[in-house]
Amino acid sequence: MRALSETLSQSTTQQWLTTLLLTLFAATALALASMGLYGVMSQLVAVRRREIGVRMALGARAGQILRSVVAQAATVTGAGIVVGLAGAFALARFMTSLIFGIPPVDPLTFAVVPALLAAVALAAAFVPARRAAAVDPMRALRED
């Protein structure tokens, strides 16, 4: 004879452990995706540094350079978010048996994660673009 609460606790322990592990893996994946996104965006700006120098030498203003780089980052990030959300929706039905206490298509998660990745992409593009736009055009042209 056992108490009902003890029986219920034992019957849901494995599902809670699985949910906890999936949450930890998802948080780790989000952190890695953010770092990778920042690295890719920084590299894209670094590759375009010479082009940015030429454009500035021809009269482009820093604001135009920033808009150009951020627009490119927004395009790449938007495409990635669309593909990622489509994949997540497609695979969500397979997660039903693995998670406990939350629906497989959680609207909060499907809203917050893309917004967070978009913010990381914006910062990842803005910081190096601002740095590149502040460089003397002649110095950027001499490098390489």
pLDDT digits (tens, 9 = 90+) for 40-56: 877 887 788 788 888 88
Determine the structural domain holding residue 78 and report its residue range: 9-142
Residue 3 forms part of a structural domain: no
Three-state SS at 128: helix
Is the C-alpha dihedral spanning 24, 26, 32, 34 positive or negative? negative
**Which tokens sit at 21?**
């592990």
Residue 143 neighbours by CB under 8 Å, 6+ apart: 49, 50
35 within domain boundaries: yes
Res. 67: pLDDT tops 70: yes
What's the structural domain count of the chain?
1
In a domain, 42, yes or no: yes
- In this structure, is residue 2 part of a structural domain? no
pLDDT of residue 4 exceeding 70, the answer is no
- Note whether residue 1 is domain-resident: no
For the residues 60-69, what does the mean pLDDT come to? 86
pLDDT in tens, 126-136: 887 787 777 77
In a domain, 135, yes or no: yes
Residue 4 resides in a domain: no
